[in-house]
Amino acid sequence: MSTENALLTILIEKIKNDSIVLPTLPEIAIKIRETADDPDVNLTAMAHVIGQDPALSARMVRVANSAFMGRSVKVETLNQAVTRIGLRQIKNIATAIAMEQLFVSKNELVREYMNESWQKTVNVACVAMATLQIWLKENKRTSLNIDTLTLVALVHSIGVLPILIEAERHEEVFANPRFLDVAIQRMAGKLGGAIMRSWEFTGEFVEVTENWNDLEFQTEQVSYIDFVRIGAIYTDVIGKNADKNELLSVYIKKGILPDLDFLGNDEFIEALNDVKSVFA
């Protein structure tokens, strides 16, 4: 048995025994979600919760002032930012931004993997959000919405974290590129689903984290996984050596993309740049 397979066997056993360390949702994200789910919550109370995290507060003001929000008048305070973004959107947008706090490590190799993973995730999310934003113009009756997709897209590859956390805890054994690449490819999906369930995120969150990288998995109806996968194809996260037009043709048949030139036209590029301003 190769070293990589031996290490994979150890991690698989840890998963079976529930002894592998799963990342926990940042405390500020938990507070935000609990506050948003309170039927009596108001914008002032939400601003107070977000205000407990200065870095997140600053990011939310930037989001409110981003081109994505489509407003020309700048907001200057957190209260104004929360009012502009709105309670419906704030829950998932704030949670998504807080997610970045999980991608930190003291180990140089693991930190490099985490930085790369987060950047890829953001790139995929931006394309997914821009595509959905345009699609919604002609499909207003759908249950799909931008704020949910924002979070879905930013957790789609969350399954890499337990592997990288394990590598940091046992760097002398696990922290080598050959092992990490194989482990991520083989186990990230299953671990992603486990994390979503442990965070009490169900439905589309589990579906996307477990299956986004499996191109044979397709939903009958248009769903969030379609937009995440379009983002992954566009950014060469999946299907890097495949015919990109062939991969995208599935989404033309589904009515998500009008044609193969869509991801290069001016409307899409403008929407993509607006979305990128959220994460700048």
- Here the CATH number for the domain that contains residue 238 is 1.10.3210.10
* Length of the chain (residues): 280
Q: What pLDDT band is residue 3 in, cutting at 50, 70 and 90? A: low
pTM, entire model:
0.88
Any domain includes 155:
yes
Any domain includes 225:
yes
Any domain includes 215:
yes
Query: Among 29, 274, 44, 235, which Cα is nearest to 121's?
Result: 235
Does the structure show a pLDDT above 60 at 83? yes
Does the structure show a pLDDT above 60 at 10? yes
**Which range of residues forms the domain containing residue 207?**
3-22+102-276
d(CA 120, CA 118) in angstroms, rounded, equals 5
Where b means 16+ CB within 10 Å and e means fewer, 244-258 reads eeebbebbeeeebbe
Question: Please, what sign has the CA dihedral across residues 202, 251, 214, 279?
Answer: negative
Q: In whole numbers, what is the pLDDT of the chain averaged over residues?
A: 88
What Rg, from alpha-carbon coordinates, does the chain have? 19
What is the tally of structural domains in the chain? 1
d(CA 45, CA 60) in angstroms, rounded, equals 15
Question: Which residue shows structure tokens 């200057």?
Answer: 76
Any domain includes 208:
yes
The pair of structure tokens assigned to 158 is: 């969350």
Per-residue pLDDT of 121-162, as tens digits, reads: 999 999 999 999 999 999 989 999 988 999 999 999 999 998
d(CA 248, CA 17) in angstroms, rounded, equals 39
Kindly tell me the number of DSSP H helices and DSSP E strands found in the chain.
15, 0
Any domain includes 14:
yes
Any domain includes 42:
no
d(CA 215, CA 218) in angstroms, rounded, equals 7
